[in-house]
Amino acid sequence: MLMNLRSASLRLFTAWLLGCCAAPIAAQTIGDELFAHGFETDLSIQTDRVELETSSLEALQGLLGGPGGSGVQVLITYIGKGRRVDSDAFEAPLGGTPPSSTGNNIDGFSAFNPNTGNEFRIQITRSDLGTIGSETTRARRDAGAGPMGGPVPPTDPDSPIPGVINKAWSNNSDNRVRYSSLGVGTTTWPWRAIAEFSNRCSGTLVGPRHVVTAAHCIYNRVTNTWSSNFNVTPGRAGGNWNYGRSLVPSAGFTWYFTPWQWRLANPAGGEGQYDVGILILPNRLGDLTG
């Protein structure tokens, strides 16, 4: 899943969302739809926009330096407010249908807040993506991490084995291998960082609150809905777990991010290469799992 996404986009996607990146940016919200959908009276839209702008600025400054750096530009556009379909899903904004193309020089991400139903598009030029990707590699922020953020133990018997096909639970297809009995939760790293979703998906903690998952686990292309009201439980074995669980959404900073192309009806190159997402949990479960 991850290897099929363009490397520059994925590097930005992960580094920026983990809050570890970049330089002075110009973040703004534009568009006629913004005002047509009650922007002036809905304070949640402004609050969400500020959150995205602030986190983008902090992330870029962390990677590329403070004022006077590379001047990476980020454009944040309000798309619309999703309509709650039921307790488990938001319908994506009806007036915010993604365009047929993202252009030749700009890439972007969909950002959705399941607490407010607000959806935004975050855009950045591909040349700036290349700059961020190069710096991410130079700083080794795309390298593997060990149990609590340190290096991966070279002799750890539970470290992933090169060349071995990863197992997963996705789209109701389960080919995972059990690493503990059902009587106790999984406690060995890195398996304890793998989380079960109660919406019949799974993901992996890559930060204190950041979970890498499939885009289809958080946005359904067929029904045009964002998932809501599900638990994320790391290290689960049957009815047992050791590291808590997070209800999405609940009180606290919660966001979904997917490549913008995942929202397109027929993205160039096929939809599979964009089937990756990052979920920001309201709770810091990764502080316990590593």
Whole-angstrom distance, CA of residue 57 vs CA of residue 81:
24
Quick: pLDDT tens for 193-240: 999 999 889 999 988 999 999 999 998 887 788 888 899 999 988 888
Residue 283 lies in a domain: no
Indicate whether 131 belongs to any domain. yes
Answer yes or no: is 218 within a domain.
no
Residue 99 lies in a domain: yes
106 found inside a domain = yes
20 assigned to some structural domain: yes
Task: Place 93 in a pLDDT band, splitting at 50, 70 and 90.
Answer: low
The domain tally of the chain equals 1
Q: What is the DSSP letter of 240?
A: B
7: domain range? 2-138
Q: Which pLDDT score is estimated for 33?
A: 36
- What torsion, rounded to 10 degrees, do the Cα atoms 10, 224, 124, 59 define? -60
Whether the per-residue pLDDT at 91 is higher than 90: the answer is: no
Residue at 211 is within a domain: no
Q: Which range is least confidently modeled, 35-44, 71-80, 162-171, 274-283?
A: 35-44
Q: What is the pLDDT of residues 109-162, one digit of tens each?
A: 889 998 888 888 888 888 888 888 899 899 887 777 777 767 766 665 555 555
DSSP labels, 22-72: ----------HHHHHTTTTT-HHHHHHHHHHHHHHHHHHHHHH-STTS---
Query: What is the spatial distance between Cα 113 and Cα 45, in angstroms, rounded to a whole number?
Result: 10
Q: Measure the CA–CA gap between 21 and 179, rounded to whole angstroms.
A: 35
Q: Is residue 289 part of a domain?
A: no
Across the chain, mean pLDDT equals: 74
The H or E element containing residue 129 is helix 126-138
Backbone angles phi, psi at 227, to 5 degrees: -70, 150
**pTM, full prediction:** 0.74
As a whole number of angstroms, the distance between CA 235 and CA 193 comes to: 6
pLDDT above 50: residue 68: no
